[in-house]
Structure 1
């Protein structure tokens, strides 16, 4: 009986780990919603389920010139436009009157003054998308 419970517990844990990630926010780009050190739970979902306004986890673009930097592998930003949406002209005046192409997102940090995001590097390709933030978790005690 105990072996069955252990096996079921392991299967449940494996299922949760495949569908969710626990990520620690790094940097000020998502303030005030999330501060550096906050922990968030991310659910892996298909790219097609991303909606405008959701906070998303994306893989950092690893340009060879930046490989030496000690940066997290993931970044958290807000999706401001998904495939087919009109490009927000306030944040992206150079892309005004266009729509987000298939397989791409436009993302920005909530703290526009301190965020490196789509305003600087353009569209985020679907291959870098990981999932959506579903909740903020309590901070770890120091």
Structure 2
């Protein structure tokens, strides 16, 4: 289900009903009221007047919901949109059940539903956590960390990431982290971002020879490096598929009671 499409349709329908009432139906109701009063030769009592001038229920609902739906559409399309993390591919940065906020204007303003950019406000930077439409199925949203920018040369061998021939700095933090027993936790410096990542020492993981990121596209990876379906498997993210930059976690809900203990900015 495309919630953006449903929201756009709801705004269009309620807005059209409200507009028709303002420009046409209300005048007809008032004209009918004046006609009845003229035929009776006297002013009707308040109860009768309210009954004759009463808005039909579709108009009443449209007038009530249209401004609310319009504000939600504008905020969700151009300011910030909530998403829930469905998998562990971004652990330890993001946990399953985290509810995140995505900055919708960091990389330019885009039309809802079509995702067409109409105002250019910036480009993804190396290390950003980015939400995008999965290239193989644009109806599905993915979230990964931007590793390669257009023109970058990317290689991944022996659990080491190389950008333009240089190894990305990282250091071991924990040989058996509590949140992921049996994994290794590292701290990595990618662009201006310092973040944590997991590696599985028992699994050699994918090995990738050097590739060059094409113009207008991006190479992305999950922080849970050996458990992430990312650019190492299916390729690059086109500029047109970008949704926005994830910047904060505001709640976690894993099926029990919602928790606000994990509220934080995303590194």
Q: Which bracket does the TM-score occupy, shorter chain normalised?
A: 0.7 to 0.9
Superposition pairs for residues 1-142 of structure 1, below 5 Å?
13-19=72-78, 20-44=80-104, 45-46=107-108, 48-60=122-134, 61-62=136-137, 73-90=140-157, 91=161, 93-96=208-211, 99-140=212-253, 141-142=257-258
Are the aligned partners of 2:148 and 2:154 in contact in 1 as well (CA < 8 Å)?
yes
* Structure 2 unaligned blocks of 5 or more: 1-65, 109-119, 162-206, 259-267
**1:27 Cα offset (Å):** 0.7
**1:38 Cα offset (Å):** 0.2
**1:87 Cα offset (Å):** 2.0
Are the aligned partners of 1:108 and 1:117 in contact in 2 as well (CA < 8 Å)?
yes
Higher gyration radius (CA): 2
Per-residue deviation, residues 73-100 of structure 1 (Å, max 9, x unmatched): 211100001113332454574225xx42
- Identify the range of structure 1 (9-18 vs 40-49) with the bigger mean alpha-carbon deviation: 9-18
The 3 A distance-change label for structure 1 pair 10 and 128 is closer
Are the aligned partners of 2:102 and 2:247 in contact in 1 as well (CA < 8 Å)?
yes
Q: TM-score, normalised by structure 1?
A: 0.75
Counterpart CA distance in 2 for 1:87 and 1:78 is 14
Superposition RMSD in Å: 2.7
Moved over 3 A (4+): 7-15, 88-93
Counterpart CA distance in 1 for 2:144 and 2:77 is 22
Are the aligned partners of 1:81 and 1:88 in contact in 2 as well (CA < 8 Å)?
no
Per-residue deviation, residues 65-120 of structure 1 (Å, max 9, x unmatched): xxxxxxx8211100001113332454574225xx4221100000000111010000
* Structure 1 unaligned blocks of 5 or more: 1-6, 64-71
